[in-house]
Amino acid sequence: MKSFLMLVCLLTSFSALGQAYFDESNRRIVKEDYEEKILNGPYFGVPGDQIGDMKLVHRMPVGVTDARKFYEKLGLEDEFKAGKPLVVIYYPGKDVYNSSGLANNPDGFRSMKKTIVRYADKHDAAAPQFIYGNPHGLEKYQGIIEWIPDPEDIFKKNFFQYPYPYGSFIVISPKGNFREILGEYPISQIDVALKKL
């Protein structure tokens, strides 16, 4: 019995040693800091580079990118030349959050789309683009919102590498400045992000 308990303790300590935690800059941190940032900060935990590792991802990234390629993939070259910001609503695929409760209300979809279009018009942006990574679960939007596939997974590869819960959005200026929120967000944040571009 004593040797069995020692074996269990050894295996537990080895498995604990195998898991590492990293911040958004890929610096190693302790598990307590990792958990605290998820609970109290704007972070998600995603799989790290090694099996068993976990990494923090900031939920509200900002930065600069080559905007032209995103406009071109969407066939929006004229909007790019006209200096119109791009608004992309990204649906990763069906999950627990976007397939239950208020997320299944057709009136809510209509209201959401109307509000997003109003924000785009207010900031002289291109027509909002509703893009999906995986179409499973989109049937509830039929006749309300027209979703298109992510062209060559360009948005997934550059901005939405993980299936963040509910969905995400990004706004991109023709100069390349971008702001996004990964995972569930209040619709009003699209207006805020467009103002800050």
pLDDT tens sequence across 15-64:
445 689 999 899 999 999 999 999 998 998 888 888 989 999 999 999 99
Name the phi and psi angles at 17, rounded to 5. -65, -30
Q: Are 34 and 109 members of one domain?
A: no
Q: Hey, what are 2's tokens? A: 């004593």
Report the pLDDT value the prediction gives residue 193, as an integer from 0 to 100: 97
Q: What is the DSSP string of 105-140?
A: -HHHHHHHHHHHHHHHHHTTPPPPEEEES--TTGGG
Report the pLDDT value the prediction gives residue 21, as an integer from 0 to 100: 95
Q: How far is the C-alpha of 17 from the C-alpha of 11, rounded, in Å?
A: 10
Q: Does residue 175 contact residue 67 with C-beta atoms inside 8 Å?
A: yes
Q: Are 53 and 68 members of one domain?
A: no
Q: Are 103 and 145 members of one domain?
A: yes
- Domain CATH code at residue 181: 3.40.30
Q: Are 104 and 188 members of one domain?
A: yes
Last-in-domain residue among 10, 38, 58:
58
Cβ atoms within 10 Å of 87's Cβ, excluding its own:
23
Q: Are 102 and 139 members of one domain?
A: yes
The residue ranking higher by pLDDT, 58 or 127, is 127
Q: Are 163 and 90 members of one domain?
A: yes
The whole domain housing 19 covers 2-58
**Residue 84: which of 74, 94, 93, 92 has the closest Cα?**
74
Q: Are 69 and 122 members of one domain?
A: yes
Q: Does residue 129 contact residue 89 with C-beta atoms inside 8 Å?
A: yes
Give the pLDDT band of residue 151 (cuts 50, 70, 90). very high
CA angle 111, 124, 183 (to 5 degrees): 50
Q: How far is the C-alpha of 86 from the C-alpha of 174, rounded, in Å?
A: 8
Report the pLDDT value the prediction gives residue 103, as an integer from 0 to 100: 55
Last-in-domain residue among 58, 80, 95:
58
Instruction: Name, in order, each residue with C-beta under 8 angstroms of 16's C-beta and a sequence gap of 6 or more.
Output: none
Last-in-domain residue among 39, 58, 77:
58
Report the pLDDT value the prediction gives residue 4, as an integer from 0 to 100: 36
Q: Hey, what are 71's tokens? A: 């406009």
Q: Are 11 and 88 members of one domain?
A: no
pLDDT at 7 exceeding the cut of 90: no
pLDDT tens figures, 88-111:
999 999 888 777 765 567 888 899
77 residue type, one letter: E
**Total number of domains in the chain:** 2
Three-state SS annotation for 58-69: ECCCEEECCHHH
Q: How far is the C-alpha of 195 from the C-alpha of 96, rounded, in Å?
A: 31
Report the pLDDT value the prediction gives residue 94, as an integer from 0 to 100: 87
Q: Are 37 and 73 members of one domain?
A: no
Q: Are 188 and 117 members of one domain?
A: yes
31 residue type, one letter: K
> In percent, how much of the chain has pLDDT > 70?
88
Q: How far is the C-alpha of 153 from the C-alpha of 86, rounded, in Å?
A: 17
pLDDT at 9 exceeding the cut of 50: no
Report the pLDDT value the prediction gives residue 140, as an integer from 0 to 100: 83
pLDDT at 10 exceeding the cut of 50: no
Average pLDDT value over all residues in the chain: 88
Q: Are 30 and 72 members of one domain?
A: no
